[in-house]
Amino acid sequence: MDKYSLASSLPDKLALRIPEASHVSGLSRSTLYELIRARKLRSVKAAGRRLILRADLESYFAQLRQEA
C-alpha cells in the first residue's frame, strides 16, 4: 500500500493497524509497541491483529499536551 492510498483510507477508520497508527502519529512502529507494552497507549487485538483505536491515540497525545 503506498502512502497516498493509505492516507485516503484512514479518515473513516475507527481502529488503526500499527503501520497506520505510525503513519498518522509520526511515531515509529517500535515506539508504538513500547508505549503499548508500558501501558501508556491502549490497544486491542481483533481477528489476530493489534489495533489502536483512533480515540485512544488522540487521548494519548492530549495527555502529552497536558503534561507539557
The predicted-structure confidence for 17-60, as pLDDT tens digits, reads as follows 999 999 999 999 999 999 999 999 999 999 999 999 999 999 99
Q: How would you class 41 by CB atoms within 10 Å of its CB: exposed for 0-12, middle for 13-18, buried for 19 or more?
A: buried
Give the residue, 8 or 27, on which the prediction is more confident.
27
* 3-class DSSP assignment, residue 41: coil
pLDDT at 2: 45
pTM, full prediction: 0.81
3-67 is classed CATH 3.40.50: no
